């Protein structure tokens, strides 16, 4: 039996023309229990996660030279519970696993503006059952097949807003859906250091409570607009094929080709200010913020290649390189047929990550990471005038264990202070934070 508790506190402060002073607290409790009985392994995993996010936002006052003009405050508490039961047993050359994955969640979103309040609350239930069979065909081949059932329900959600002259208060209708998701795969061991693999499957993804009901600023760069009409995203089919190779103890290589087809894909749509509902007047958010709304996209095709290698120079120094080439295109979109054949918004074709690691437990662990992201369209029209250029950013993290269970860390993001953007509004580019340093302590017991 293993009982874990993790507490994390983060204080962030960003300033442009607006100051965002945020506090995030996380309490994570988990209980894991395993019981072997002959050739059968039983396991129980349960958890409770308590999240709290609070932010005070103030505008700069040129008269006083301080950030003292009230903009808004928000408080977003969220609770998640989970229970996973699993049994795995050997039946001849087969390894059969059956289990359940049960999740419950609730959240609230409370915004206070100078003109009033905007609140929403809701609950979400996810129930899953699955079975998987691994068959060992000799020493070189492993065959697998599985089936998963998912049931999803959002309920007890409501909305209240009195920030305008006309207050709004109404319940959201309950939403639910279910899906069966089969999968199968093959792994062939060419040699001890080389594996070929391929798999095929389907999938299901429920929209989150936030995407369904929450409307409000998300950090300093974007404004999230709720979409109560969202349905689940369904992966109608997906396959991948590739290999893993370890030519020696110091080098590992991996390559994967993948292709997927989605129905009702959950994509990000950039919204013009004149499309906002009447209870969100433009004055409630910075004009430079990108307004983003999750929408169901009809049919989407995605394919690409992931490649990478990792090398250990010695017992302390190592490095890795990962590259992803991805093409995500709109195949069918009934709301805007003229966008069919275009690329999804905010999906770069090329992403490269390079890292150098120094790991010396007696002293410290140092990581230096370079991320290169290619250009991206910000709308489904693929307008060149709204295209974001690619960027490179360097991050660093230093970690040292003070004593068992306690670590102190220093994160340095955007070390070279690059001007880069992940989002843009209808008229302006929203830049990401400049060089940022965060010092923290983590204690597990």
pTM above 0.85, yes or no: no
* Dihedral sign, Cα of residue 374, residue 379, residue 381, residue 387: negative
Q: What is the pLDDT of residues 376-417, one digit of tens each?
A: 998 888 988 888 899 999 999 999 988 887 889 999 999 998
- Burial class of 191 by CB neighbour count within 10 A (0 to 12, 13 to 18, 19+): exposed
* Cα angle 432, 436, 442; round to 5: 120
Largest CA distance in the chain: 80
What CATH number has the domain bearing residue 49? 2.40.170.20
The upper half-sphere exposure of residue 83, i.e. CA atoms within 13 Å in the direction of its Cβ, equals 4
**H helices within 101-160, ranges in order?**
none
Establish if 374 belongs to a structural domain: no
pLDDT at position 410 is: 92
Average pLDDT of the residues in 121-143: 94
Q: What is the pLDDT of residues 164-174, one digit of tens each?
A: 888 888 898 89
Establish if 285 belongs to a structural domain: yes
Non-local (6+) Cβ contacts of 179 within 8 A are 149, 150, 202, 204, 232, 234
What are the beta bridge partners of residue 191? 194
Q: How much of the chain is in helix, strand and coil states, percent to nearest 5?
A: 5, 70, 25
Establish if 442 belongs to a structural domain: no
Give the residue numbers spanning the domain of 232: 2-344
pLDDT at position 401 is: 87
- Residue 245 or 429, more confident: 245
Establish if 424 belongs to a structural domain: no
Establish if 422 belongs to a structural domain: no
- The total number of structural domains in the chain stands at 1
Establish if 390 belongs to a structural domain: no
- Give the separation between CA 215 and CA 276, rounded to whole angstroms: 10
Mean pLDDT score of the chain: 89
Non-local (6+) Cβ contacts of 273 within 8 A are 282, 287, 291, 426
pLDDT at position 109 is: 86
Establish if 354 belongs to a structural domain: no
DSSP letter at 432? P
DSSP letter at 376? B
Q: What is the pLDDT of residues 163-203, one digit of tens each?
A: 888 888 889 889 899 999 999 999 999 998 999 999 999 99
Start-to-end CA span in the chain (Å): 14
Establish if 336 belongs to a structural domain: yes
């Amino acid at each position: 039996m293993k009982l874990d508790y993790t507490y994390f506190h983060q204080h962030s402060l960003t300033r442009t023309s607006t100051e965002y002073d945020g506090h995030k607290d996380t309490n994570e409790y988990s209980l894991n229990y395993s019981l072997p009985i002959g050739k059968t392994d039983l396991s129980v995993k349960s958890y409770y996660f308590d999240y709290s996010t609070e932010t005070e936002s103030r505008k700069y006052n040129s008269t006083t030279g301080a950030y003292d003009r009230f903009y808004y405050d928000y408080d977003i508490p969220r609770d998640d519970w989970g229970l996973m039961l699993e049994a795995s047993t050997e039946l001849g050359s087969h390894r059969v696993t059956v289990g359940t994955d049960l999740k419950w969640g609730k959240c609230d979103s409370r915004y206070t503006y100078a003109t009033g309040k905007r609140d929403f609350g809701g609950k979400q239930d996810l129930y899953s059952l699955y079975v998987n069979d691994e068959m060992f065909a000799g020493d070189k081949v492993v065959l697998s097949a599985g089936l998963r059932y998912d049931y999803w329900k959002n309920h007890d959600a409501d909305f209240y807003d009195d920030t305008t002259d006309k207050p709004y208060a109404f319940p959201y209708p309950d939403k639910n859906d279910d899906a069966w998701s089969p999968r199968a795969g093959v792994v062939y061991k060419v040699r001890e250091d080389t594996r070929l693999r391929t798999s095929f499957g389907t999938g299901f993804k429920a929209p989150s409570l936030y995407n369904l009901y929450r409307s409000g600023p998300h950090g300093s760069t974007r404004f999230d607009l709720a979409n109560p009409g969202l349905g689940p995203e369904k992966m109608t089919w997906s396959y991948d094929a590739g290999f893993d190779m370890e030519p020696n103890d110091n080098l590992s290589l991996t390559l994967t080709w993948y292709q997927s087809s989605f129905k009702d894909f959950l994509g990000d749509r950039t919204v013009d200010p004149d499309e906002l509902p009447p209870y969100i007047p433009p004055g409630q958010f910075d004009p430079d913020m990108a307004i983003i709304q999750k929408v169901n996209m009809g049919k989407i095709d995605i394919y690409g290649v992931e490649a990478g290698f990792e090398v250990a120079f010695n017992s302390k120094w190592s490095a890795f390189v990962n590259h992803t080439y991805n093409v995500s295109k709109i195949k069918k979109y009934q709301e805007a047929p003229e966008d069919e054949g275009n690329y999804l918004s905010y999906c770069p074709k090329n992403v490269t990550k390079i890292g150098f690691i120094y790991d010396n437990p007696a002293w410290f662990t140092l990581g230096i990471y370079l991320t290169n992201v290619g250009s991206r369209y910000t709308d489904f029209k693929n307008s060149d005038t709204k295209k974001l250029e690619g960027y490179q950013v360097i991050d660093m993290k230093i970690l040292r264990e003070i004593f068992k269970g306690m670590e102190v860390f220093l994160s340095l993001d955007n070390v070279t202070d690059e001007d880069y953007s992940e989002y843009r509004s209808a008229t302006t580019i929203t830049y990401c934070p400049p060089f940022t340093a965060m010092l923290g302590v983590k204690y597990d017991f």
